[in-house]
Amino acid sequence: MSDARKIAIVTGGGTGLGQACVKQLLADGFKVWSLGLDVEEKIDHPDLVEQHFDITDGKAIAELAGSFEGVDALVNAAGTILHDRREFTNEGFDKVMEVNFRGTQQLCFALEVQLKASRGAIVNFASMWSIFGSAGNPAYSASKGAIESFTRALAASWAADGVRTNAVAPGWVKTRMAVNAMSNPDRAGPILKRIPMARWGEPREVGQVVGFLASPAASYINGVTLPIDGGYAIA
């Protein structure tokens, strides 16, 4: 590939859905910077740069932005969730909001010039909990609802400069975050019964949609949050 190949940045790129996005973008010909604190599967690819990165670190974000002249795709997949009612504490609530929402917001703002220079695309990660309330996870729900609204705002603000901003809202997909539900028959049964497609999603299915939204094939799509849930939200 030539040095003119497109640049993609993926937060949370070492695990779960973020890593599925990294794989898809590499297949689509991007040079990919994968940012995160953990790696599930080691990917050996000449166009992949893996960087240990904390998306709540403002200094690190500023340094990252300064190393690029242009960015063609920014995928904000990094996120966290706390269980056992820890999100019902101020400390727990703040932690989830800081990672899920503020991390996304800070990366977008820091890379505004670079995204506009390349007329790039942003894909943020909302969730099915942007639509429904999670009884055990108020911070996760709030953060994902905020991402959906933030996505619409950036879409309205930056489109005139050539930047498209969209989001995906994954449902029940086979990741570490969903393993507790998938392995508990009392939860898995009702969930699968509600999903019209009657199965769990595969991470690659999310990666493929993100790849589409970052591609010229989605050139007139701006400001949407696309559910990837097998129909769960409409059942």
Using alpha carbons only, what angle is made at residue 36 by residues 31 and 37, rounded to the nearest 5 degrees? Answer: 145
Per the structure block, which two tokens stand in for 199? Answer: 């199965």
Q: How far apart are CA 33 and CA 28, in angstroms?
A: 14
Q: How far apart are CA 13 and CA 32, in angstroms?
A: 9
Pick the catalytic residue: 53, 93, 125, 140? 140
Q: How far apart are CA 105 and CA 124, in angstroms?
A: 10
140 is catalytic: yes
Using alpha carbons only, what angle is made at residue 171 by residues 166 and 175, rounded to the nearest 5 degrees? Answer: 105
Which residues participate in catalysis according to the annotation? 140
